[in-house]
């Protein structure tokens, strides 16, 4: 009888341990299963003084590429859930001048396995920075 009770306790303890390991690995798995992101970002300044387009490659999960602030740019995109129209890292409006010195930006590639094509024009560099954070800061 005592051997049966010890066996039952050991079996229940083993089942509890297995359940906790399974639960822990189930919660850790989604982070590992997130598809990597790879984007080609372009900034074109056709304003007062035209400049050659600037191009940076950004990869996320893990962060890298030629983008000088890849970790920050990936964080900004993650907060916006990959939606470039929702980029607003500061969460508030900036006080920018009303000068018109346009910058056009594009993004093509994939965000977490889904195709991305984004194109926008910002009135000046202040509006660009306030609207997109570090994503186009290169």
Least confident of 20-24, 35-39, 43-47, 92-96: 20-24
Residue 137 DSSP code: -
Average pLDDT of the segment spanning 66-71:
96
Q: Please give the tally of structural domains in the chain.
A: 2
Looking at the predicted structure, is the pLDDT value of residue 58 above 60? yes
Between 113 and 88, the more confident residue is: 113
pLDDT of res. 65: 95
Q: Bridge-partner residues for 103, per DSSP?
A: 45, 122
Between 30 and 101, the more confident residue is: 101
4 with 70, same domain? no
pLDDT of res. 47: 67
53 with 12, same domain? no
Average pLDDT of the segment spanning 28-51:
76
Residue 67 — very low, low, confident or very high, per pLDDT cuts 50/70/90?
very high
Q: Would you say residue 20 lies in a domain?
A: yes
The CATH number of the domain holding residue 119 is 3.30.350.10
117 with 90, same domain? yes
Do residues 47 and 100 lie in contact, with contact meaning Cβ atoms separated by under 8 Å? yes
Check: pTM over 0.75? Answer yes or no.
no
64 with 97, same domain? yes
125 with 62, same domain? yes
Which residues form the domain of 55?
A: 34-132
Residue 92 — very low, low, confident or very high, per pLDDT cuts 50/70/90?
low
Residue 94 — very low, low, confident or very high, per pLDDT cuts 50/70/90?
confident
Outline where DSSP puts E strands in the chain.
Answer: 37-45, 54-60, 64-65, 103-111, 114-122
Cα 102 from Cα 86, distance rounded (Å): 20
């Amino acid at each position: 009888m005592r051997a049966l009770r010890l066996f039952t306790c050991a079996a229940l303890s083993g089942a509890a341990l297995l359940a906790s390991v399974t639960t822990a690995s189930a919660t850790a798995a989604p982070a590992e299963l997130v598809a990597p992101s790879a984007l080609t970002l372009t900034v074109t300044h056709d304003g007062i003084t035209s400049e050659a387009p600037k191009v940076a490659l950004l990869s996320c999960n893990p962060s890298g590429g030629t983008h000088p602030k890849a970790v920050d740019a990936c964080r900004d995109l993650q907060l916006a859930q990959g939606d470039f129209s929702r980029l607003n890292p500061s969460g508030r409006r900036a006080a920018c001048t009303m000068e018109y010195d346009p910058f056009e930006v594009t993004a093509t590639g994939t965000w977490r396995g889904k195709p991305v094509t984004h194109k926008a024009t910002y009135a000046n560099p202040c509006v660009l920075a306030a609207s997109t954070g570090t994503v186009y800061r290169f």
